[in-house]
Amino acid sequence: MNLPHFDFHMPRTLAECAGLLETYAGDAAIMSGGTELLVRMKYGLARPSHVVSLSDVGGLNEISYKNGSGLALGAGVRLERLLRSTAVREKYPSIPEAASLVATRQVRHMATLGGNLLQHTRCLYYNRSTTWGKAVPACVKRGGDVCHVVPGSKKCFAVYQGDMAPVLITLGAAVTFVSRSGEEELPLESFFTGDGNFPFRNTEGKVLARITIPDAPHPRIVRYKKYRLRDGIDFPLAGAAMALSMDGDRIAGLRICLTGVSSSPVLVTNTQDPASGKQLSNALVGELGRKAYEAAHPLPNLEGRPEERRAMIRYMVEDMLEEMLTEELRPL
């Protein structure tokens, strides 16, 4: 499959990049590592006339940590670099843990953190070649008016399968976008729409510049588990991230976030969850496993049976909590 024709732009600043996006509004796509965009273009799923590369934009590859403030990651940081960064591995080891589960090493050397967060939703009826697409009526995400997964629905139920987003959401991450009018920061979890066709809120003319993760007031453990058919390459058919903060022997905060089971990451619990103030026990493990299971509603639009993917959510959440029952907490 060949790429369609497009004009290629290599701005050197975020302001220049935002200007190009404004000039070619609606007909331009941002390319960071290109591991997702170029595949979609080859399949005819994206046809921008202008591709704006971030490879020469300064400041997008920075990693910095300040005690008391937290970690700042440029959106252009390669996933493989997250595995080697001393600051990230020592202060937030769950981030390289999740990054190591993305695709293959070759892909991680190209793929960026921002690109992983902004990857489009996927579906068996969407992520196919143009030739295959002619064999069935166009679905909502392909510009048609039918949904092959939920007949009669006009909404798209394509699945968000990012690995990094659930971990960063449990860590309380915020994202900063830059446009011609300035900067805008918002919590990562509020960035997703829940609509498979248009999964992100108001990104037109904006560039994701950085991701910031605050320090936690209490020691915590953060984990991520991923269910997939193969150990490498595959997107998560179901994934669960968890951040557990403790104050002595009591839960100070608990955030559980799922991926691969909806059109956006699903935040099951947050710091105001009823689990706060309780001791972590086998009974609570079962209760939280059921809560995660009830929050997951996978559909038959990915490989693997929906009931199996849903069951794996419960298993992974309970497994992480059972590990934490016997693990010594340390600041992450």
- Residue 73 exposure: Cα atoms within 13 Å on the Cβ side: 30
- Looking at residue 52, what is its pLDDT? 98
Contacts of 51 by beta carbon, 8 Å cutoff, 6+ apart: 6, 7, 8, 9, 28, 29, 30, 31, 37
How would residue 132 be classed by pLDDT, with cut points 50, 70 and 90?
confident
- Looking at residue 331, what is its pLDDT? 44
- Locate 161 and state its tokens: 């399968």
Residues of the domain holding 320: 220-325
Domain count, the chain: 1
Contacts of 316 by beta carbon, 8 Å cutoff, 6+ apart: 225, 227, 238, 239, 240
Residue 107 in any domain: the answer is: no
Q: CB of 46 within 8 A of CB of 142?
A: no
Residue 109 in any domain: the answer is: no
- Looking at residue 215, what is its pLDDT? 94
For 268, the 3-state DSSP assignment is strand
Residue 261 in any domain: the answer is: yes
How far apart are the C-alpha atoms of 221 and 155, rounded to whole Å?
Answer: 37
Residue 111 in any domain: the answer is: no
CA of 69: how far to CAs of 66, 216, 285, in Å?
A: 5, 9, 32
Residue 188 in any domain: the answer is: no
Residue 317 in any domain: the answer is: yes
- Locate 74 and state its tokens: 């440029």
Task: Note the pTM of the prediction, 2 decimals.
Answer: 0.95
326 or 278: which leads in pLDDT: 278
| Residue pLDDT, tens place only, 32-74 | 999 999 999 999 999 999 999 999 999 999 999 999 999 999 9
CA of 19: how far to CAs of 28, 41, 210, 285, in Å?
A: 11, 23, 18, 50
Q: CB of 210 within 8 A of CB of 299?
A: no
Residue 308 in any domain: the answer is: yes
- Looking at residue 279, what is its pLDDT? 92
CATH number reported for the structural domain that contains residue 275 in this entry:
3.30.390.50
- For the segment 170-186, the average pLDDT, to the nearest whole number, is 96
- Looking at residue 274, what is its pLDDT? 64
Residue 244 in any domain: the answer is: yes
Task: Kindly state the percentage of the chain with pLDDT values over 70.
Answer: 97
pLDDT over threshold 70, residue 236: yes
- For the segment 182-186, the average pLDDT, to the nearest whole number, is 96
